[in-house]
Structure 1
Amino acid sequence: MQKLTLSCAAIALLAQFAPAAPAYAQEAKDDSKLYLTSNTLVYDQDNDRILVNGGVQIFYDGYKLVAERVVYDQKNGRMTAKGKVELIEPGGNRIYADDLDITDDFSAGFLNALRVETTDDTHLAAESAQRINSTVMVLNNGVYTACKPCADNPDKAPFWQVKARKITQNDETHMLELEGARFELLGVPLAYVPYLQFPDHTVKRKSGILTPTAVYSNQLGYGVSVPYYYVLSPSSDATFTPTYYSNAGLLMDVEYRKRFRNGKMMVRVGGIHQTKPSIFGAGTSDAAVTNRALVHTTGEFKINPRWAFGWDLMAQTDNNFAYTYKFSNLANSTIVNQIYLTGYGERNSFDLRGYYFDVQDGDKQNKAEKQQAIVHPVLDYKYFAPEPVAGGELSATVNVTSLTRGRSHAKIVPGSDRFHGLSGNSTRLTSELEWHRTVTTDGGLQLTPLLAARADGHFLNVTDPNSLGGGLNYGGNFYSGTTAARTMVTAGLEAKYPILIATAGTSHVIEPIGQIFVRPNEQLAGGLPNEDAQSFVFDATNLFERDKFSGFDRIEGGTRANVGFRYTGSLGNGFGLHGIFGQSYHLAGLNSFATNDLVNAGAESGLQTRVSDFVGLIGASMPQGFTASASGRFDKSTFALRRLDTQAGVSNRFGSLNVIYSQIAPRPSYGTSIQNRELNTSASVNVAQNWKVYGGLTWDIDDASLRNQSLGLSYQDECTIFSLNFSRGDDLSTTNWAVTARLSFRTIGDLQTTGAIAAQ
């Protein structure tokens, strides 16, 4: 016998010591070498063995073996390792064992008392294991979990685990098979499954049955969904989801997905033959149609880094199918169908879209949907000149809106009827140029002159509001022609004088602001359809806007001055304040906010008089995640509160709380003779590690009624998600109760059930 002692050295064994290349590793070469480091190495020439002791590390073709002692039998081509054995595979998985007996190419062998840690943080353990043909490992009396072991107490049972008589891991099929499986939660056995199979951590997409979902509805009855996922190609797949309802029959839902080099698309088809249409209310679209179906498709594509197009479209046999059967992502009361083309450059943007609004309700006549406009299309283009013009910035804006409405949408309001939309066709082309330049004087005064010019062209074929009948009457001068043109030019000047006040650790910037805009009267004020300027709230955020209307269909005219100030303060230690306060003055010409409008856009806005109401805003940010803000409008004479919007919130390690309070004074022109006060709250509390309780409510203070309520409990860690949620909302005369429960085990699947109860 010959003996060779090495001290922490690396040895490259000669070719006669090197094992043959592994049969399963295609990248392995015939001349692959085995590299070894250890404290001592003994070559037993008589028995043709190599004995390695002390800090043994063996590297071979991507494998790394660490042990206290290794014996390599060259005649049999096997290695035996003992003492804190760790084997790291080429893919990164780690295998720990008390002892190991394996072939010299690491393809087959036996292990005792082993643990396996994958690169995806899944864990396997077993009393013993056998590796077969380099692709299959069989674990006896094994345990599988995707939960990390407790750092303080590794012997403590994980949140969940699956114990099995036999676990087979197949590296070719990338599947895990568990025989005689027993599922445990917090160490307590919950279920026994004779056979369980699921993909291992390397699989991203695998055909097979997904976790079933139980559902319930007081109309549809009990139901169960059993989805099947099918991989069609590396870039496409499909999901088939049959759902059987005890009161309605079999619902089929098929979704096909396809990825391309520059985007993706999806096509979804659903349908049912209702066995009992009578379960729905008489006279509804749900009861009127026996065979119901829908098609939904989406697409997102990048033409190049700046241009993109896409669509989101749905068509169904009736107006309530997707809502009634709660198709995912399609169960909203209104579905917005659109197709778009967008482009973004360094100094310009382009957005072209078409819209169709699918209103889902039980009305067989589909009145609400016919009252919505079909937009075909709306174009927005913005351009900024790359070089200064006369020392300032020149920009151009273009908007084209073309739409059709099948049914007029109007509401009787005593003394001021509202016409939200008129049946017929209308098209408007708007183009505008704006130039402004900011000059700062030596004393710090900032002056910004502004010039703007706008032109609109209208092509009209809409119903005269005074011809609708039913007691409706429009008090304005409605324009009944088929074409119309209007222009607006504006000359303005803004003056600001920022004042900095700095003390030790704090800074304050007070910025008095004054603006004046000189322009002629608005042409055809209130005489043209108003589609995109209906939502209007005068507050501090638009006090200093040149045109305060929210869209292009109205133009602010006349001479107006805006006066106020901005404040920004940093108080140190994470405290900050900001605020705005001011007032607006109509100096000359026709006040656009005081003219008749089809939707009363300017009525009771606070701008309809020569001197406007006061508007203000104050906000604060504080340490530990606290924020608060308040925005209000106050009567110009009495300072009485006309509108108040407040928000306060906190978010930290203990949880979060958000409170929103709104108060709006009576608005007779909008059909509300009493004030409207509403409180919205949402909160979550981290009651324990990984556990959270959350909820929210909407309280109508004046009606003393709850509009919405929700309450839930959730648990989430690295391997498990659990949630239980109850919610209630008011939908006209029907109160909808819903409960959703979800239990998700990482790598295994989800268990989910939903239920809905509608009670009059």
Structure 2
Amino acid sequence: MRKVADIAITVSMAALLTAAFGLAAPRAHAQAGLEKLAGSKAGEKGQRLLVEADELIYDNDRNTVTARGNAELHYGARTLQADRVRYDRGTSRVFAEGNVRLTDETGALVTGERMELTDDFKNGFVDALRIQQTVQLKGETVRTRISAPRAERVAGEQSSFDYATYTACEPCKDHPETPPLWQIKAAKIIHNNETHTISYEDSTLELGGIPVAYLPYFESADPTVKRKTGFLTPRFITSTAIGTGVATPFFINLDPSYDLTLSPAFVSRQGVLGQAEFRQRLDTGSYNLRLSGIFQTTPSAFLPGPLGAADREFRGSVESRGRFFINEHWRTGWDLVGVTDKWFLDNYRIRNQNITTDYFREAVSTAYLIGQGDRSWFEARGYYFKALSSFDWQKEQPVVLPVIDYDKRIDGPQPIGGEVRFEANVTSLSREATDFQGIPRTGSYLFAPSYNGISYPLYETCTTFVRDRCIVRGLGGVDTRLSAQVSWRRSFIDDFGQVFTPFTYLRTDAFFVNPSRSGFQNALVNNITTVDDGFSGRVMPAVGLDYRYPFVADFGALGVHTLEPIAQVIARPSETRIGRLPNEDAQSLVFDDTSLFEWDKFSGYDRVEGGVRTNLGAQYSVVTPTGWYANLMFGESIQIAGVNSFRRGDLANVGLDSGLENRRSDFVGRFQLSPNQNISFISRARFDQRDFAVNRFETGVTARFSPFLPLETSLFYSYYEAQPALGFAHRREGLTASATYRITPNWFVTGSALVDFTRYLDNRDTFTDLYTAYLANPVGLAPVYSNPGLTYLSGLSLGGGYQDECTTVSLNYIVSPIATAIGVRERNQTVLLRLELKTLGEADLRQNVSSSMTADGIATVR
């Protein structure tokens, strides 16, 4: 018969064993032992020790108490299991023998053949020890393991493991004797439970059982520690301009709520790059501050001004980010980037998430306040844009402060009902110089290079404003606008299923414009006589009706079919002051299926659609019981009366070449197909109204073929006809593709490509050639472009790797575009090797393999 004893003792044996060998449990302070089995005293925090065994033996002659046969000791969430547990009252030692297993409340498991401890549990040892502990690392569950033929507890706070191994890898189920993917073997591993550190003496790192690295001594924090002072994984650096070196980050845990990381980087050509990052977590949020700087020893490695920073000895940056929650409805924060020069972050490979790196590089600094209610939204922001490419002129970049948006929706008053919506926006921006370009004759579709406001030979000469030669992207000076709109709509459904949605809105805008008119560069603006100076206003009332009549048929296994004709009519006066006001936020006009039934098709507040217009279309959809879905949509927009807002271009020519500039717009359509939840196909297009030629086409597919085939892939193709009035002299056409194939659950290969079908090559190789030509003839530069329409592999990534519960290894070859001084596209070819050993650290090795590389601010190396 199995005997059960429910005994109250001062401290549980399981708790003390857990403390004795470094697991997450409090250390014992009170005298306890199995001789208390007959007692009834309450245990720690009122808990009681439950002992289960096939038999309990009291031996008064030998002065021992023994629990034998499947012995289990339960204390709270902790359990000790063994074939036999014996307490020797004469020597004050406790012995657990045979398949000993100790589990604490965290799930950590200690196993061994024999455990021996003194009754105060400050000293003792374990034979054939194996410790398994579960920890959370970067959101993942990782199990760490330590095994040793013998472990000893010393002075109550330190555990010593002789000839031990440590790993975070799972053992092979079929062949547990096989070495794990990686492990550390050490003559001695010492776990200090007071400092929470693990030190390794005479250690070797093995990969697949093969020694690959030897370390006489190193130390790391134990898995229970998330933050501890010490060195982090070094980062290796190599660059033509800065040389070869290594960064050695050192983390300082100043307090549980804040820390400091010092990362000096020693590079052969430039000296020491210092970096320091301070982070602090508060009750309502967190913030960080990162400083970088270097006194260069070889500034001549960089291009001279104005194309590089060769004239600077000291270079540096300041970066900061903050996120704070004021209460459940309000939050605030900032992202700030400041640099001594536009090339610093790129030259020294300093990464920041607020910096865009594809083609055009810029750093965006912003501060914001956001409030959100059940049916309301408030956001106030300020922006500062720092240009980081050689061909950008900082004086053309705007400072935007503030941008305030407010959106509130309420139920309409009875008996009107419906929904009432109020929207408001305040935007104020300023720039020193007007951002403009000439309309292209021939040349690149992608880049619009200018230096100090001067257009280059891709474009018409634009030193004074001429409507058919110039586009003003942003006006110099101050531009402030206040906009407000109140709208109402309500849907009615009659007995036949027809849906009528009447709506109305009133939009008002107030502008204050003070263009900058000083300097040679702004001679351009002096010729724009149509721009309204000072205060001006605009009012746009509208009333409309949206009509839909869905016809629904259920064909059982063939699915539910829905045919829905849609008609919309909007009556309003013509837009006023077209071309007499700046346009900063409404330059991105895309007419397609998503904007066909928009009340106002402009993307921002600076423009407002006017005139009487009807939008007509229909859509057909099918949904089957098996999950098959298809949708087809087609329509057009017709200007009925008044001035067509899209026919008269503003300073940026927005509206022209959009497909809406004629009375009858281009046709737009969409086709979407999803045979199941793993495959999705979509196409959308815009067709010329006169001859049905394709002016815009996008199509793509995403697919996951598992479990039949471990493959994930996507393929997207885009085609845009030339829009000369908007600065695009040639068609734009390209293809993006990506795929990931899992050879096994652990091994994978991946790749992606960006193919440009319409590249236009520049006969000149560098910015210096063009800049020299400009100095010789600043007005009459002729087009120098040739070889149009070549296919060009703009971006490529190929790689593969291995990933399991303890290791990640990946190797990638990356070809990425670079926006160099005048927009000439170079390809940066990089090999990236990444290795991560869970709980130990990770390392990246990045090497550029280009035969020739041009980067902003760095002299070309060939």
Q: Give me the TM-score of the superposition, normalised by structure 1.
A: 0.94
Q: How does 1:91-106 map to 2 (within 5 A)?
A: 92-106=107-121
Flag the 1:268–1:471 CA change in 2: closer, same or farther, 3 A.
closer
Q: 2:404 aligns with which of 379, 388, 402?
A: 379
The structural deviation recorded for 1:572 is 3.2
Matched, 1:485 2:528: no
Please name the residue that 2:739 is paired with: 683
Aligned partner of 2:791 in structure 1 is 704
Please name the residue that 2:858 is paired with: none
Do residues 674 (structure 1) and 730 (structure 2) align?
Answer: yes
Partner of 1:368: 393
* Equivalent residue, structure 2, for 1:510: 563
CA pair 467-381 structure 1, distance change in 2 beyond 3 A? farther
Percentage identity across paired residues of the two chains: 36
Matched, 1:746 2:768: no
Most deviating of 639-648 and 75-84:
75-84
Q: Does 1:500 align with 2:552?
A: yes
In 2, the alpha carbon distance for the partners of 1:324 and 1:596 equals: 41
Secondary structure of the residue aligned to 1:627 is strand
Greater shift in the superposed pair: 641-650 or 708-717: 708-717
Q: For residues 152-189 of structure 1, give each alpha carbon's deviation from its aligned partner in whole angstroms, at most 9, with x where no partner exists.
A: 32222111101111111121111111111111111111
1:73-106 Cα distance to aligned partner (Å, 9 max, x none): 1111222222211123465422111222223454
1:245 aligns with 2:260: no
One-letter code aligned to 2:328: P
Distance in 2 (alpha carbons) for counterparts of 1:448 and 1:17: 74
- Whether 1:299 aligns to 2:322 is yes
Pair 447,435 (structure 1): closer, same or farther in 2 beyond 3 Å: same
Identify which of 68, 77, 85 aligns with 1:53.
68
Q: Count residues in correspondence.
A: 750
Contact 2:515–2:533 (8 Å) recurs in 1? no
Work out the CA distance in 2 between the residues paired with 1:369 and 1:244.
Answer: 31
**3-state SS in 1 of match to 2:148:** strand
Corresponding residue to 1:590 among 643, 668, 693: 643
1:39 to 54, 60, 71: 54
Partner of 1:355: 383
Task: Say whether the 8 Å CA contact 1:17–1:74 is kept in structure 2.
Answer: no
Amino acid at match of 2:556: A
Please say if 1:722 is aligned against 2:774. Answer: no
Question: What amino acid sits opposite 2:259 in the alignment?
Answer: D
Q: Is the 8 A contact 2:15 2:27 kept in 1?
A: no
CA deviation profile, 1:329-360 (whole Å, cap 9, x unmatched): 16641111111111111121111111010111
Q: 1:557 aligns with which of 597, 610, 617?
A: 610
Quick check: 2:232–2:251 contact (8 Å CA) kept in 1? yes
Counterpart selection for 1:258 from 268, 277, 280: 280
Kept after mapping to 2: 8 A contact 1:417/1:472: no
Structure 1 residue 155 and structure 2 residue 177: aligned? Answer: yes
| 8 Å CA contact retained: 1:347, 1:386 | no
1:128-167 matched pairs, under 5 angstroms? 128-167=150-189
Q: Does 1:402 pair with 2:421?
A: no
Instruction: Find the residue that maps to 1:286 and give its secondary structure.
Output: coil
Q: Does 1:345 align with 2:373?
A: yes
Matched residues in 1 for 2:549 and 2:563: separation? 8
Equivalent residue, structure 2, for 1:4: none
- Written as runs of structure 1 = structure 2, the 5 A alignment for 1:325-724 is 325-329=348-352, 332=356, 333-362=361-390, 367-388=392-413, 390-413=416-439, 415-463=468-516, 478-505=530-557, 506-623=559-676, 625-653=678-706, 654-702=710-758, 703-724=790-811
Normalized per residue, the structure richer in strand is 1
- Deviation per CA, 1:502-534: give whole Å up to 9, x if none: 111311222111000001010101221000010
CA deviations on 1:368-388 (whole Å, 9 max, x unpaired) are 322121101111111112454
Moved more, 701-710 or 380-389: 380-389
Distance 1:280 1:468 in 2: 28
Partner of 1:70: 85
Residues 684-704 of structure 1 show CA distances to partners (whole Å, capped at 9, x for unaligned) of 111222222112111111321
- Structure 1 residue 468 displacement after superposition: 6.1
Give per-residue Cα distances to partners, 1:538-580, cap 9 Å, x unaligned: 0000000010001111110000000001333212322211232
For residue 305 of structure 1, what is the amino acid of its counterpart? E
Aligned residues of 1:466 and 1:473 also touching (Cα < 8 A): no
1:666 alignment partner, SS class: coil
Secondary structure of 1:172's aligned partner: coil
Per-residue CA distance 1:722-749 (angstroms, 9 max, x = gap): 2222212232333322232221111111
The SS at the match of 2:65 is strand
1:35 to partner: Cα distance: 3.8
- How large is the RMSD of aligned CA atoms in angstroms? 2.5
Deviation of the 1:44 alpha carbon: 1.6
Decide whether the 8 Å contact of 1:19 with 1:104 is kept in 2. Answer: no
Instruction: Label 1:512 to 1:59 Cα distance change in 2 as closer, same or farther (>3 A).
Output: same
Distance 1:14 1:605, change over 3 A: closer
Does structure 2 retain, via aligned residues, the 8 Å contact 1:349–1:382? Answer: yes
C-alpha distance 15-437 of structure 1, shift in aligned 2 (>3 A): closer
- Cα pair 2:15 2:78 within 8 Å, conserved: no
| Deviation of 1:473 (Å) | 11
Is 1:315–2:335 an aligned residue pair? no
- Unaligned 5+ segments in structure 2 are 21-25, 32-40, 136-142, 442-467, 759-789, 855-862
